[in-house]
Amino acid sequence: MGSFKGHALPGSFFLVAGIWWTGKHSLWHATRRNKNIGSTRLASRASQRRLEVIENSVVLFFSLVGMLAEQFAAGGPRLQLYDFTEKHWQYLMNWQHATMYFFFGLAATVSLVLQTTEAAPLALDRLMLAVAFFNEGFLFFYHLHGRSMLDVHMHQLLLFAVFGQALVAFLEVFHRGNVLLELLRCTLTLLQGSWFWQIGFVLYPPRGPEWDLTDHNNMMFVTMCYSWHLAFAMLVVSTLYCTVSW
């Protein structure tokens, strides 16, 4: 995954997820507010549930594809974890990424079960989401040993978004349906997505010169850049929210 594509791909996924969630939560908030207008087609419980089922099936599908790709794509471990001849672990990166996908797949599976049966409180889906994000941040946190300064810094900045998502999702367990928390989560998802792209551009520039990964000036620029990404994510979310509300 140490490539431009390896960062652009999850980035795109989180961007799409962020936009989708923003649209979904804006729509539901709007229909909740003016029951009399939009309730005919969109606000009905059944269609909401169908939407959730579709969303989680897609997430489950992509996390399965991601796991398979990490395992069986060119240069993958093909389910081998330990090299017995040289006596060391191999392909640990691929296994870690597959583990991350697995937790998102798990969250989607649980959400599917919750939507189709009534086995457990609905808020469980947010708890599973919080666990998935926490797990992603946890693995990233211990991922960074021995890399160059700028590389470490950019991934650390990513952790603000990831742990922020985990925290907001956990708060949603207790404040379900709070549209502000939902939109904050969407914003952080978009931030994570666009920052993955940024990491790709800085660490593996597809064209143009390499960045100096030890220059402190670059680090300060990158920090500011993160604020801009946050502002951009907030802009996208508010534009979408206003469009849907109208």
Contacts with a second copy by CB under 8 A lie at 81, 88-89, 92, 95-96, 99, 102-103, 106, 110, 119-121, 123-124, 127, 131, 135, 138-139, 142-143, 145-146, 160, 173-175, 179-180, 184, 215-221, 223-224, 226-228, 230-231, 234, 238, 241-242, 245
Instruction: Choose between 24 and 143: whose C-beta lies nearer to a second copy.
Output: 143
* Rounded-to-integer distance, Cα 161 and Cα 213, Å: 22
* Smallest separation (angstroms) from a second copy to the CB of 11: 21
Query: In whole angstroms, how close is the CB of 219 to a second copy at the nearest point?
Result: 7
String of DSSP letters for 90-147: --HHHHHHHHHHHHHHHHHHHHHHHHHS--S-TTHHHHHHHHHHHHHHHHHHTS-TT-
Residue with Cβ nearer a second copy (8 or 114): 114
Task: Kindly write down the DSSP assignment for every residue of 21-71, as one continuous string.
Answer: HHHHHHHHHHHHHTHHHHTTTTS-HHHHHHHHHHHHHHHHHHHHHHHHHHH
Closest approach, Cβ 9 to a second copy, in A, equals 20
Least distance to a second copy, CB of residue 223, Å: 4
Nearer to a second copy, 19 or 144 (CB): 144
Q: Would you state the structure tokens that stand for residue 230, as one six-digit string?
A: 């946050």
Beta bridge partners of 147: none
Residue 64 class from Cβ within 10 Å (0-12 exposed, 13-18 middle, 19+ buried)?
Answer: middle
In the complex with a second copy, the residue whose CB is nearer, 54 or 242, is: 242
Give the residue with the Cβ less far from a second copy, 65 or 120.
120
What distance in Å separates the CA atoms of residue 177 and residue 180, rounded to the nearest whole number? 9
Tokens for 70, please give them.
Answer: 């990490």
Minimum CB separation of residue 72 from a second copy in Å reads: 19
Closest CA to 93 of 76, 117, 73: 76
Quick one: 44 or 122, whose CB is closer to a second copy?
Answer: 122
For the CB of residue 23, give the shortest distance to a second copy in the complex, in Å. 15
> What are the backbone dihedrals phi and psi of residue 177, each rounded to the nearest 5 degrees, phi first?
85, 0
